[in-house]
Structure 1
Amino acid sequence: MRSSKWLLPVRVLLTYQVLLLLLRQAKGEESHCTSVAGMVKLLDLEAQLIDNLEDYAVELEKKLQTVKRSITSLRLENDKARGSTEDYLSNPLNSFSLIRRMNRDLITWQLYLDDPVGLSQVERIQELREHMPTHTDVEEAVTALDRIQNTYGLKVPEIAHGLLNGKQYNVSLTVLDTYAMGQILFDQKNYMAAASWIYQTVVLMDAFSLAAPLEISKNEVRMVYAETLLKLNQLADALKVVNIALTDNPQDIKLLLKKSEIETMIRTGTNNAPPVKAQATVGPTAYQVGCRGQFPPSADSKLYCLYNRTTSPFLILAPLKMELVGLEPYMVLYHDVLSPKEITELQGMATPGLKRATVYQASSGRNEVVKTRTSKVAWFPDGYNPLTVRLNARISDMTGFNLYGSEMLQLMNYGLGGHYDQHYDFFNNTNSNMTAMSGDRIATVLFYLTDVEQGGATVFPNIRKAVFPQRGSVVMWYNLRDNGQIDTQTLHAACPVIVGSKWVCNKWIREREQIFSRPCLKKRM
Structure 2
Amino acid sequence: MIGFIINESVLAIMLLSFSVTDLKEIYTSMRTIKVHMADTRQLLKGELSTLRSYVKNQKAALTNLKESINNLQHLSEEAKHPNFDILHPLNAYRFIRNHSVIYENTVKTIITETKQLEEKLVSNTRELIPKIPSLNKTEYEGVIDGILRLQGTYDLNVNDIVEGNFGGIPSGLTISAKECGEIIKVLFKDPFNRPFYGSEWVKQATRMIQNGDRSTTVATIYTLAANAMLAINKREEAALLYAMIPKDQRGRYHKIMVKALWTQTEDSNRRQVYRRMNTIFTKADLKNRHDRLCNGQSIESLLPNRHTPRRHLVCRIVDNGSPILRVQPIKLEELSLDPYVAIFHDIGSEHEISAVRECAEPKLQRSMVNSLLQGSVLDRGRTSQNMFIFDDSKYIKFARRIEAATGLNYSGFEKFQIANYGVGGHYYCHHDFFSAEYAKKTFDDDNRIATCMLYLTDVEKGGATVFPDIGVSVFPRKGRAIFWYNMYRNGTVHPLTRHAACPVLVGEKWVGNLWIRRNAQTFAKPCSLDRLELDWNWL
TM-score range, shorter chain: 0.7 to 0.9
Q: Which moved more, 1:305-314 or 1:403-412?
A: 305-314
Deviates more, 1:282-291 or 1:135-144: 135-144
1:183-241 Cα deviation digits (max 9, x unpaired): 2334435573445445555555675566xxxxx78764453245468856375663352
Counterpart of 2:175?
173
TM-score (norm 1): 0.78
Q: Secondary structure at the match of 1:516?
A: coil
Give the match for residue 436 of structure 1: 444
Question: Does 2:18 align with 1:36?
Answer: no
3-state SS in 1 of match to 2:141 = helix
Name the CA shift for 1:269/1:176 in 2 (closer, same or farther; >3 Å): closer
Contact residue 189 and residue 229 of structure 2 kept, 8 A = no
Range with greater deviation from structure 2 (176-185 or 154-163): 176-185
Deviations along 1:76-105, whole A, 9 cap, x unmatched?
9999x999x858968969978986877654
1:245 aligns with 2:249: yes
Alignment match of 1:159 (pick from 151, 158, 161): 161
In the superposition, relative to structure 1, how do residues 427 and 111 fare at CA in structure 2: closer, same or farther (>3 Å)? same
Does the CA contact (< 8 Å) of 2:5 and 2:114 recur in 1? no
Which residue of structure 2 lines up, in the alignment, with residue 250 of structure 1?
none
User: How large is the RMSD of aligned CA atoms in angstroms?
Assistant: 4.5
Letter in 2 for 1:238: Y
Query: Cα gap change, 1:474/1:311 in structure 2, threshold over 3 Å: closer, same or farther?
Result: farther
- 1:461 offset after TM fit, Å? 0.5
Within a 5 Å distance, the mapping from 1:69-88 to structure 2 comes to: 86=81
Give the letter for the 2:52 counterpart: A
Q: Measured at CA, do residues 405 and 30 of structure 1 come closer, stay the same or move farther in structure 2, by a change above 3 Å? A: farther
1:520 aligns with 2:527: yes
Find the aligned partners of 1:266 and 1:357 in 2 and give their Cα distance: 44
The change in CA–CA distance for 1:224 and 1:318 in structure 2 (over 3 A counts) is closer
In 1, Cα distance between equivalents of 2:77 and 2:219: 48
SS at 1:179 equivalent: helix
Q: 1:370: which partner in 2? A: 379
Q: Contact (CA 8 Å) 1:289, 1:295: kept in 2 or not? A: yes
2:58 to 55, 63, 66: 63
- Per mean C-alpha deviation after superposition, the further-off stretch among 303-312 and 196-205 is 196-205
In the aligned structure 2, how far is the partner of 1:484 from the partner of 1:359? 24
Contact 2:386-2:419 at 8 Å conserved across structures? yes
Give the structure 2 partner of residue 251 of structure 1. Answer: none
Question: What amino acid maps onto 1:375 in structure 2?
Answer: S
Please say if 1:340 is aligned against 2:347: no
Letter in 1 for 2:254: K
Alignment CA distance shift 1:105-1:188 (3 Å): farther
Task: Return 5+ residue gaps in structure 1 as ranges.
Answer: 211-215, 247-254
Please give the per-residue CA displacement for 1:291-342, whole angstroms capped at 9, x wherever unaligned: 1111269999822322223363432332122212121111111111122222
**Residue from 332, 347, 354 that aligns with 2:364:** 354
Q: Are positions 1:285 and 2:288 aligned together?
A: yes
Distance 1:376 1:264 in 2: 46
Please state how far the C-alpha of 1:411 moved relative to its aligned partner.
1.0
Q: Is the 8 A contact 1:152 1:288 kept in 2?
A: yes
The equivalent residue for 1:224 is: 224
Counterparts of 1:387 and 1:443 in 2: how far apart (Å)? Answer: 21
Gaps of 5+ in 2: 302-307, 532-539
Cα drift, residue 267 of structure 1: 8.6
* SS of the residue 1:520 aligns to: coil
Is the contact between residue 226 and residue 239 of structure 1 (CA under 8 Å) also seen in structure 2?
A: no
Mapped pair 1:306 → 2:307: no
> Residue 184 of structure 2 aligns to a residue in which SS?
helix
Cα pair distance change 1:170/1:377, threshold 3 Å: same
Give yes or no for contact 2:219–2:245 (8 Å, CA) kept in 1.
no
Size of the alignment, in residue pairs? Answer: 495
CA offsets, 1:382-406, max 9 Å, x none? xx25332212111112212112133
Question: Helix, strand or coil: the match of 2:27?
Answer: coil
Contact 2:461 2:504 in 1 (8 A): yes
CA distance in 2, matches of 1:481, 1:352: 38
* 1:352-431 equivalences in 2 (<5 Å): 352-364=362-374, 366-381=375-390, 384-429=391-436
Given residue 172 of structure 2, which amino acid in structure 1 is its aligned partner? N
Aligned mates of 2:47, 2:335 — CA distance in 1: 54
Aligned partner letter, 1:233? E
Classify the secondary structure of the residue corresponding to 1:33: helix
CA deviation after TM superposition for structure 1 residue 373, in Å: 1.3
The equivalent residue for 1:452 is 459
SS in 2 for 1:413: strand
Per the TM alignment, residue 261 of structure 1 is displaced from its structure 2 partner at its CA by: 4.2
The offset of 1:68, in angstroms, is 5.6
Is contact 1:311-1:400 (8 Å) kept?
A: no
Please give the alpha-carbon distance, in whole angstroms, between the structure 1 residues aligned to 2:487 and 2:82.
107
* Structure-1 residue corresponding to 2:304: none
Pick the aligned partner of 2:254 from 254, 258, 263: 258
2: CA distance, partners of 1:187 / 1:234: 11
Which amino acid letter does the alignment assign opposite residue 386 of structure 2? V
Q: Could you tell me how far apart the structure 2 residues matched to 1:318 and 1:265 are?
A: 71
Deviation, 1:491, is: 0.9
Q: Tell me what 1:295 maps to.
A: 298
Residue number in structure 1 paired with 2:327? 317
1:462-481 correspondence to structure 2 within 5 Å: 462-481=469-488
TM-aligned CA distance change 1:50 to 1:102, over 3 Å: farther
Task: Name the CA distance, whole Å, in 1 between partners of 2:366 and 2:282.
Answer: 34
Change (3 A) 1:348 1:175: farther
Tell me the distance in 1 between the aligned counterparts of 2:244 and 2:530: 71
Partners of 1:447 and 1:477 lie apart in 2 by 12
CA contact (8 A) 1:223 1:242 kept: no
CA distance in 2, matches of 1:78, 1:408: 78
For the residues of structure 1 that align with 2:181 and 2:208, how far apart are their CA atoms? 10
> Could you tell me whether the CA contact under 8 Å between 1:409 and 1:507 is conserved in 2?
yes
Distance 1:197 1:73 in 2: 57
